[in-house]
Chain A
């Protein structure tokens, strides 16, 4: 069955068909949640909730890219989660640094030496901090564009905003992240330095 058939079957109540869609998109959905929230366990919870919500509202899906439909739901869930965390703070990213390698997805990579691993970890850590300092709207636009590789039109559909707004928000997000990295250039490996 192709994606359209799976969606039709899921709309008729087939959990199996929907689960095939889950397996296809779960990594993208989880990655977006993880990058927005910055906490692997919370991201997993949000991802699961997003898939449940997607299934429960699949009757409202009126065609288009199913990936955009899922990313829209998970981004809304992330927004709710961030608002909830603002009211009730939990562990910070600094605490996350202390977690062991198995629990830290940034450190999982098979074929690299200790030096490259440490370098990549520092880099990923720094970028994640920079992303988390962005306002939610700019963070989401940046991740959808530069991590997920979506077009302006797709992002506008997911966030329900005009394309011009996507353009300006993305420019602001990139500019802020550039400035953030510039201010911490001594922490970046040479090959990643901006100037």
Chain B
């Protein structure tokens, strides 16, 4: 405690001596100190030591500059700095931060939605029953025409046997040997089945309601018992009403516009952030 008090006393004296050297004491303080110095040799010694310390520091040489510190002409002007400072002062940048987060989330949601929507629509628009008719053909050949399997091929069926009400299902014989099979191995009774097979074999674009209707009718007409159950239901091609629905699956312009708008917003906000970093 005594040591602390002594130190404080020394500090107080140093403060007086230091201010005395700089002429910063009031007249009253200066007169009191000078009176004390006149009779206090150790205090005079301290004053002299302090004076020499100040003189030594003041005599330190001026150091020459290693180079000129002039600024390049391309320095950003103060006006730009001021504009950024003004934007900052009104709290633009925190709001831009929040807006950037919202815009980024919106962009992701929009793009994801568009991709999912279009992807789902494409999957729905793809004619799923395309494999089913081939399955039906194979089963039909195996069950209904076991004896004709070796002789009758779909290519060998005469074009004349195709019903006139479905002209687009007509097929020209692809094999030159097909005419020799006509009438020889095809009996009159299986003709309707052949018709049905031909209908099933013929490519049935999903966009043609008549073809899909034919397939549906064939399945529902109990010609193929194996497909009467749920399997037949699964084999149903999309009906005309479904096709009309798919026609609405065009690219959605407003979603794209929203996505592009959000992208532009994000870019603008990124530019603002760049401006803020440049300020720093």
Contacts and interface: CB of A to CB of B under 8 A. Distances in A.
Interface in B31-54: 45, 48-50, 52-54
B78 A11 contact: yes
A23 B68 contact: yes
A56 B62 CA distance: 28
A142 B22 CA distance: 12
A44 B68 CA distance: 10
Nearest to B279: A56
The secondary structure that dominates the A interface is helix
B112 interface: no
Interface stretch (B11-19, B89-97, B113-121, B125-133): B11-19
A167 B24 contact: yes
B98 interface: no
B49 A106 contact: no
Contacts of B48: 194
Contact of B49 (A34, A105, A194): A194
A134 to B, nearest CB: 11
B81 A167 contact: no
Contact of B50 (A16, A59, A174): A174
B82 A59 contact: yes
B253 interface: no
B67 interface: yes
Contact of A124 (B22, B60, B70, B71): B60
Contacts of A47: 65, 69
A167 B18 contact: yes
A108 B61 CA distance: 9
A19 B53 contact: no
Nearest to A13: B77
Contact of B64 (A27, A171, A181): A27
Contact of A174 (B14, B67, B70, B73): B14
B22 to A, nearest CB: 7
B69 A178 contact: no
Q: Report the interface size class on chain A.
A: 35 or more
Interface in A53-85: 55-59
A26 B65 contact: yes
Given A26-B68, A167-B24, A174 B54 contact: yes
A109 interface: yes
Interface string A83-109: 000000000000000000000011011
A68 B113 CA distance: 61
Contacts of A11: 78
Given A22-B71, A108-B64, A177 B53 contact: yes
B78 A13 contact: yes
B64 to A, nearest CB: 6
B69 A22 contact: yes
A147 B58 contact: yes
B49 A147 contact: no
A147 B58 CA distance: 5
Interface of A: 10-13, 15-16, 18-19, 22-23, 26-27, 29-31, 34-35, 40, 44, 47-48, 51-52, 55-59, 105-106, 108-109, 120, 123-124, 127, 131, 142, 145-147, 149, 152, 167-168, 170-172, 174-175, 177-178, 181-182, 192, 194-195
Interface of B: 10-11, 14-15, 17-19, 22, 24, 45, 48-50, 52-54, 56-58, 60-73, 75-79, 81-82
| 5 closest residue pairs by CB, A with B | A171-B18, A171-B15, A13-B77, A105-B63, A19-B70
10 contacts: A26-B68, A27-B62, A29-B69, A31-B63, A40-B63, A47-B65, A51-B69, A149-B58, A175-B14, A194-B52
Given A27-B65, A146-B58, 14 more contacts: A22-B68, A31-B63, A44-B65, A44-B67, A51-B69, A52-B71, A55-B78, A56-B75, A146-B57, A174-B50, A174-B53, A175-B14, A178-B50, A194-B53
